[in-house]
Structure 1
Amino acid sequence: MATRRLAPPEVQPKSFDWSADSAVKVAFWLGKYPAARKQSAVIPLLWLAQKQEGWVSEPALRKIALDLGMAYIRVYEVATFYTMFHLAPVGKHHLQVCGTTPCMLRGSGDLIDVCKKRIGHHHHVTPDGLFSWEEMECMGACANAPIVAIHDYYHEDLTAESLSAIIDDLAAGKDVTPGSAIGRLTSAPDGGPNVLKDESLFDGSLAKKIKLPNLPEKA
């Protein structure tokens, strides 16, 4: 894993505070843990900060440390460990491309090429602020590789062409529908489920008849 660091000082905001909506959610998460264990809410609070601002800034880390009674370095350790937290500003539409082996074997390299051509280098934000992208480690949808996560939802079974079409729609302000680009049903085989169609394979009719000891004659 590459070293992850916070955005440079000139990018950091001067302060951070919870919005009214986020404050309600913070209270909800703190209410899930005993007062002596409120540090357990560090990941939910980091996630709320990112949802509020689009990324996790250094002032946000300090605010979370203060709210949870944690040393700042402990919050920093969590934020820099998990790649789901953006440590610098990202585009309105941030694309996370899985580049681990199953996706790579199924063409994620082509998807990365599209991102480089349409958006720019890794973590670059387009001048209009609409797009950025990054390569991710395995995101756990290997059966439907290759995948790209957009707004926390998976777009699966992609090709360079289908990803380009998604980027076109996002650029035009259109909604995009997550899921399989080829109409795959959940993680079923391409073309639909094709197993256990013969009921005799699971209804017990092929089982050898046996007589259990002490069983009544008519049973």
Structure 2
Amino acid sequence: MAEIKLAESKVQELKEVCKKFNYDKGELINVLHAAQGIFGYLPAEVQEVVADQLNVNIAHVYGVVTFYSFFTMTPKGKHPISICMGTACYVRGAEKVLDEFKRLLDVKVGETTPDGKFSVSSLRCVGACGLAPVVTVGEKVYGRVAPEDVKDILAEYK
């Protein structure tokens, strides 16, 4: 895997975040959350900066990043799409909705479209079970989504 060259301005921003948290290793999750906000994802190079700044083992940082599903080591699309697969959504057809997103975008779960516009993921529960099945695109929530609605949802972001 090729090494990623991080923008120096973003590295400085990340170092400021570490400073704001007093380089406290107990703040690792908060620092990683901020880092993902800065870079959009957490490649090895970002994890190395965090490990160095907080004086923690890189393996520990990697363990935290891979343990929590919120963190991602691959870039997300400009419009990240998440399909809820919690019980209520699943029994009301979320799998068919997910299949339609995968078909129309020609990606698998966890992948980003070649143009970088969309990424598709599934998650366990959005907490809007009364609207099942639920899809989020960025911060926007779509309820009672049927496979035939997917084309119209995507059209909003084209």
Structure-to-structure mapping, 1:103-114, within 5 angstroms: 103-114=89-100
Gaps of 5+ in 2: none
Q: 57, 71, 75: which is aligned to 2:43? A: 57
Alignment deviations for residues 55-95 of structure 1 (CA, whole Å, 9 cap, x no partner): 11001111111111111111111100111111112221111
Change (3 A) 1:145 1:123: same
Distance in 1, matches of 2:133 and 2:19, equals: 38
What letter corresponds to residue 132 of structure 1 in structure 2? S
Higher relative CO (Cα under 8 Å, sequence separation at least 6) belongs to 2
Question: How do residues 186-205 of structure 1 correspond to structure 2 at under 5 angstroms?
Answer: none
Displacement after TM superposition at 1:139 (Å): 3.2
**Correspondence for 1:81:** 67
Deviation at 1:25, TM superposition (A): 4.4
Cα distance between partner residues in 2 of 1:77 and 1:18: 26
- Which is richer in helix? 2
Provide the rounded CA distance (Å) in 1 between the counterparts of 2:26 and 2:7: 21
- Cα 1:168–1:156 shift into 2, 3 Å: same
> Identity over aligned residues, as a percent?
26
TM-score normalized with structure 1 length = 0.62
Name the structure 2 match of 1:213: none
Question: Does 2:4 align with 1:13?
Answer: yes
Kept after mapping to 1: 8 A contact 2:83/2:136: yes
Query: Which residue in the other structure is 1:194 paired with?
Result: none
Instruction: State which drifts further: 15-24 or 94-103.
Output: 15-24
Judging changes above 3 Å, is the alpha-carbon distance between structure 1 residues 21 and 74 closer, same or farther for their aligned structure 2 residues? closer
1:146-185 equivalence runs, <5 A = 146-171=133-158
Partner of 1:139: 126
Superposition deviation, residue 46 in structure 1: 1.4
CA deviation string 1:154-193 (max 9, x = no partner): 333322233332211111xxxxxxxxxxxxxxxxxxxxxx
3-state SS, counterpart of residue 120 of structure 2: strand
Amino acid at match of 2:75: P
Q: Normalising by structure 2, report the TM-score.
A: 0.83
RMSD (Å) for aligned C-alpha atoms: 2.3
Larger deviation: 130-139 or 159-168?
Answer: 159-168
Greater C-alpha radius of gyration: 1
Q: Partner of 1:96 in structure 2?
A: 82
Unmatched 5+ stretches in structure 1: 1-8, 172-219
Equivalent residue letter for 1:113: D
Q: How many residues align?
A: 156
Worse overlay, 50-59 or 122-131: 122-131
